[in-house]
Structure 1
Amino acid sequence: MNVAVVTGASSGIGQSAALHLARRGAGVILTYSSNEHGAQDTVARIEEQGGTAVALRLDLGDSAGFPAFRAEVADVLRRTFERDSFDQLVNNAGFAGMAMIEDALEEEFDRLTRGLFKGPFFLTQALLPLLADGGAVVNVTSNSALPHVTAPGYSVYAALKGALVVLSRYMAKEFSARGIRVNSVAPGATVTRFAGDAFAKNPEIIPELAKSFALGRVGEPDDVGMVIAMLVSEEGRWITGQDIEVSGGQNL
C-alpha cells in the first residue's frame, strides 16, 4: 500500500486530494491547523470507502515544530501502516492575505512567508528522510503567480507562490537522484474556505467571476484534487519539474 502525507486536508483542495488518493488505494496521513472537525470528516469519509487515514495537527508557520511532527509521522507509519517510509507528499496547506503594496505590513509579510514558502521548504526537508525512493511530491501553487492573472492586493501571496514554483523545479532536480518526482499545480479561483471562506460569505461574486473562465464556471476542489492524485500516482511517472495550471482556462 502506498502512503501519502497531505497537508491542509481538512477541507477544499487538500481534502479532495486525500480522498482521491485513498480511492486509488493509498493510506493517508493528513494534517490540519485549526479545523479538527474538518480533518476528522476527511478521515471518516476515507474510512467509509474502505481506506485508512490518520489526522495530525500541524502549524505550517512554526518550523520549530517540524522535527516533532516528523516523529509523529514516523510513529503513525509504524503503528498504522507497518512502514518506515511514505511515498507521496502533497504540500497543500496555506492561507491567503491581501494588501496593496503601499499598505502592506511587515508582520503580515513575514506571516505569509512562513506559511507559504518557508513552511513547505523546511517541512519537505524534515520529511525527506521518510520519503521513499521513487516517491513523488506535489506543491500547490496558484495561477496568481502566472503572467495572465494579476489581482491587485495579492502581490506578496502571488510572489511567494511563484517562489514555490521555482523551488519545485529545484527540488525535482535535486531529488531526482533518488527517483523522486516533484511537480507543482497552479489552481485558479476555486470554491473552498480560502480567504476566510470568502465564497460562502459572498456567493454573489461567483457568477461574475465565472465569466473569466473559458469553461464557464469557477473551479471546484475535485477539479484540482484529482490532478494532484494523478501526478503522484503511476500515471504521472514521467512528469517532473512542471508547474501545471489547473484553472478551467481562467483569463484565457
Structure 2
Amino acid sequence: MTASTTPRIALVTGGSRGLGRSTALALAAQGSDVILTYQSSEAEAHAVVRQVEALGRRAVALQLDVGDSKRFAAFAEAVKKVLASTWQRERFDHLVNNAGIGLNAPIAETTEEQFDLLSNIHLKGTFFLTQKLLPLIADGGRIVNISTGLARFTFPGYAAYAAMKGGVEVLTRYMAKELGPRGISVNTLAPGAIETDFRGGQVRDDKQVNAHIAGVTALGRVGLPDDIGGAVAALLADGSRWITGQRIEVSGGMML
C-alpha cells in the first residue's frame, strides 16, 4: 500500500488552541490525519477539526484532562475505538505531548498545590499518558515532548514550571533508549517565548514584554505559533527519522 492510501495519523494533546492548533494544522498540511485533544474548549477543537478537513485530511477531537492520570486508560480506549471507526486501523504514528499550562510564582511563594498541578500536567501526565498509549503507537513511530526554553535560561517566577519541563527532557532520553528497539524515536522540542494566549497572552499583548524578548533574541522578534507548529512537523517528517533522544530548542536564538 502507498503512503497516499495509508496516511500517517498524529495525536496532538492540547490541539484546540495555541501551539497545539498550529501543530495540528502544520501536520495536516504535511499530509497527516490528526487526533487532537482539548480540555474544555470543545467549540475551538471542532473548529480546528474543520480546518484540518479543509486541508483534505481527516481529524477527530477527543476530550482529555492531561492532569488527571486516572482517566488515561479510558482515553486510550477511546483512541482505540476512533482509530477503528474512522481509519479502520489499530495504531497511530505520531504522538505530540503538547498540552500544558503556565504558572508564574517566586519560589518563596509557590504553593504545594501549584507545584502538584504543574507536576500532574507536565511531568506525570507526559509519563503516564505515553505509557497508556504505547500499545497504540506503531513501531517506527515518533514521539515529540514539548518542553520550554526556560529549562536552559532563567526568568524569575518560573522555577516550578521549568523544573517539570527539565524532567520531561530527561524523560525524553529514557523514552528514546527504551523505545529504540521498536524503532520509535523520541525528541524534545523546546519553544522560546511565543505570541499566544499562554499566561493571559502576556508575551503577545504586553508591548514592553514583547520588546524585551525581541531584544534578547538573535533573530530580533518574538516567536509565533506557526514557528513551533512548523518545527514539530519538520521533526516528524521523513528527513528527521534518524534524530532521537535530542533536545531541539526553537526560540530564534533567545538568550544566547
Identify the TM-score tier after normalising by the shorter chain: over 0.9
Of residues 196, 204, 229, the one that matches 2:233 is 229
Q: Deviations over 1:82-110 (max 9, x none)?
A: 11000000000000112111111011110
Q: Deviations over 1:43-99 (max 9, x none)?
A: 111111111100011000000000110011011100111110000000000001121
Of residues 237, 246, 252, the one that matches 1:248 is 252
**Unaligned segments of structure 1, at least 5 residues:** none
Of residues 16, 27, 36, the one that matches 1:30 is 36
What is the CA distance between 1:237 and its match in structure 2?
0.6
Partner of 1:124 in structure 2? 130
Q: Secondary structure at the match of 1:113?
A: helix
Q: Secondary structure at the match of 1:150?
A: coil
Partner of 1:138 in structure 2? 144
* Aligned partners of 2:194 and 2:204 also within 8 Å: no
Q: Distance in 1 between matches of 2:224 and 2:201?
A: 14
Q: Distance in 2 between matches of 1:204 and 1:91?
A: 31
Partner of 2:175 in structure 1? 171
Q: Distance in 2 between matches of 1:5 and 1:201?
A: 30
Q: Distance in 2 between matches of 1:83 and 1:21?
A: 19
Correspondence 1:60-209 to 2 at 5 A: 60-146=66-152, 149-209=153-213
* Aligned partners of 2:68 and 2:125 also within 8 Å: yes
Q: Distance in 2 between matches of 1:80 and 1:204?
A: 47
Q: Distance in 2 between matches of 1:224 and 1:172?
A: 21
Structure 2 letter corresponding to 1:175: L
Q: Distance in 2 between matches of 1:219 and 1:176?
A: 32
What is the CA distance between 1:16 and its match in structure 2?
1.0
**Unaligned segments of structure 2, at least 5 residues:** 1-6
Q: Secondary structure at the match of 1:210?
A: helix
Q: Distance in 2 between matches of 1:198 and 1:45?
A: 26
The TM-score, its normalising length taken from structure 1, stands at 0.96
Number of residue pairs aligned between Structure 1 and Structure 2: 250
Structure 1 letter corresponding to 2:77: A
Structure 2 letter corresponding to 1:232: L
Partner of 1:40 in structure 2? 46
Of residues 239, 242, 245, the one that matches 1:238 is 242
Structure 1 letter corresponding to 2:141: G
**Identity across aligned pairs (percent)?**
52
Q: Distance in 2 between matches of 1:41 and 1:208?
A: 33
Within the alignment, does 1:219 sit opposite 2:230 as a pair?
A: no
Structure 1 letter corresponding to 2:192: G
Q: Distance in 2 between matches of 1:38 and 1:236?
A: 31
Q: Distance in 1 between matches of 2:207 and 2:46?
A: 26
Q: Distance in 2 between matches of 1:98 and 1:199?
A: 13
Partner of 2:14 in structure 1? 8
RMSD: 1.1
What is the CA distance between 1:200 and its match in structure 2?
4.9
Q: Secondary structure at the match of 1:192?
A: coil
What is the CA distance between 1:205 and its match in structure 2?
2.6
Structure 2 letter corresponding to 1:177: P
